[in-house]
Structure 1
Amino acid sequence: MSSSPDRPDDRPDERLADLEADLLALGESLAVPAPPPSGVARAVRARLEREASPDGRGREAVPGSGPGADPGRADRNRWGILRRLRPSPRRVAAGVAVVLAVLLGATPQGRAAVASVLRFAGVEIHVGEPGPLPTGVPRPLPGERRVTLDEARASVRFPVAVPTALPEPADVRVADGGRVVTLLWPGIRLDEYDGTLGVVFRKELGEPWPEEQPQIRGWWIQRPHGVSYVPSNGVPREERVAGPTLIWQRHAVGLRLEGPDRARALRIAASVR
């Protein structure tokens, strides 16, 4: 005996209704004033149905369903269309992600959650009320030792780059078992580290936001701020005061350049080889 094509677990209308109910519940829990979550859900549902239609205009007419048509052929065509209308898990997940972004952006709590933390190139930046700047003499990084540039390159697992816009570094340090290399010039500090393994530095900023620098795909922090080193165990050390800083990533290496003004910092960053 053949099974019916209209199995309860494969009915697209029921799945879309479940999605709409979930989105309504999510919207109510976030207390979004506008747009109404039900409207958003209906828009998502309409989008899914349009994408499933061959002409992009919604549900298509079922071929072979007119007067005098073969009932069996109409059933087969209807089942094929329903299978195309059924939202795949990937499509449903994409729809939910879009709705979540809309709902988060529509609430002050959502905007604060998105705007308060930026993680980029091994640096975690917190924007808020940082309090007074740290005082006292900054301590060296864990296990920091003075080396030559060649020794630094032999001590770490990432390529150590040097900016051609500056002379040879006046001082080179390796810290935390080869986790960080620091190049020093008078008034300038360049930290290099593997920017893909996790947070290496943490910064506490007041407003304004760091400014994106698309020419090097980096971020510029224009004011003095607190910075702390985050060892591999994840517990930040005490803060120190950092001057204006440029943060960017070159291949897998994270770099933070501290000291020069923005124009000079960008020239230095562009010359890193």
Structure 2
Amino acid sequence: MDDRALTAELRDLGASLEVHGPDPAAVAVAVLDRIATEEAAPAARVPRRRLRARLAAVAVALLVALVLTPPVRAAVGEWLGFGGVVVRPGPSQPSASAPPTASGLTLAQARELVAFEPLQPARLGPPTGVEVSADARLLTMTWGDGAGTVRLDQFDGEPSPMFVKTALLGETAVSIPVGDTTVWWFSEPHDLRMLDGDGREQAHLTRVAGPTLVWVVDGVSLRLEGMDRDESLAVAASTLGTD
């Protein structure tokens, strides 16, 4: 059994477990009360080392409570990472500029540089721009320019993620079934950070991205930016053979 199959089985098992954890809202209130009490205590009564230890214990208790709560437990895998994209909880942004265009390579040249077989969605036609990142982990195709730019990033999300997005699961980031798989739609402009092979954020590549669809085909992660929800889903369905 490969890693992806094992991960899928463990996720299904976790979602089916009948574990009755405490109410997360009540736990959160108790944690905040506990922290406020500890911070208000005089230094002479609560040494700094003991205070840190107590706060650490409370944080662990809160994490355990949340993980054992069924709705959170079922979604925790998607929060930690989906298709090489890590999602952090956070607010959306008011607006986003058009995605950057790619240039410099033909698709044939780009294909020789990456360690995976890139997809060219027939619905989008031949790309007008193609490039590969310096570390050869990311292949980007773009169509058009200016405000109408459509950008498709492709990469292998293993062994480390490529992007960090800021969104709220179930609100600005929602899962949508497409055939036998699941895709993720990020409906609002959001912070997008790129990671290097060691998982470090590349500050010079941070930007605000527009609405984006993320999905996986045969181990290759794809993120499509610059199209509306229905158009993006149609492109994804065409690559998954469900259109």
Question: When the two structures are superposed, what TM-score results if normalisation uses the length of structure 2?
Answer: 0.61
**Aligned residue-pair number:** 173
Q: Does the 8 A contact of 1:211 with 1:221 survive in 2?
A: yes
Residue number in structure 1 paired with 2:214: 247
C-alpha separation in 1, matches of 2:142 and 2:89:
28
Once the two structures are TM-superposed, the CA of residue 195 in structure 1 deviates from its matched residue by: 2.1
Between 1 and 2, higher relative CO (CA 8 Å, sep ≥ 6) is seen in: 2
Distance change (3 Å), C-alpha of 1:172 and 1:226 = same
Q: Does the 8 A contact of 1:195 with 1:249 survive in 2?
A: no
Residue number in structure 1 paired with 2:105: 147
Residue number in structure 1 paired with 2:166: 204
Higher gyration radius (CA): 1
Q: Does the 8 A contact of 2:97 with 2:208 survive in 1?
A: no
Matched, 1:237 2:195: no
Name the SS for the 2:123 alignment partner. coil
Counterparts of 1:28-39 in structure 2 under 5 Å? none
Matched, 1:184 2:151: no
C-alpha separation in 2, matches of 1:161 and 1:137:
22
After superposition, the C-alpha distances for 1:213-240 in whole angstroms (9 at most, x for unaligned) are 1115210011000101001121112320
Determine which of 101, 107, 128 is the counterpart of 2:24. Answer: 107
Matched, 1:159 2:117: yes
Residue number in structure 2 paired with 1:270: 237
Structure 1 unaligned spans of 5+: 1-93
After superposition, the C-alpha distances for 1:84-129 in whole angstroms (9 at most, x for unaligned) are xxxxxxxxxx99x946x4316x323416975683410000011234
Counterparts of 1:76-91 in structure 2 under 5 Å? none
Once the two structures are TM-superposed, the CA of residue 253 in structure 1 deviates from its matched residue by: 0.3
Show structure 1 runs of 4+ deviating over 2 A: 106-109, 111-118, 132-140
Name the SS for the 1:199 alignment partner. coil
Matched, 1:213 2:176: yes
After superposition, the C-alpha distances for 1:157-207 in whole angstroms (9 at most, x for unaligned) are 111100000120000010032100000012110000002222100011257
Matched, 1:121 2:87: no
Q: Does the 8 A contact of 2:111 with 2:117 survive in 1?
A: yes
Question: When the two structures are superposed, what TM-score results if normalisation uses the length of structure 1?
Answer: 0.55
Q: Does the 8 A contact of 2:84 with 2:160 survive in 1?
A: yes
Residue number in structure 2 paired with 1:39: none
Choose 179-188 or 209-218, whichever is displaced more: 209-218
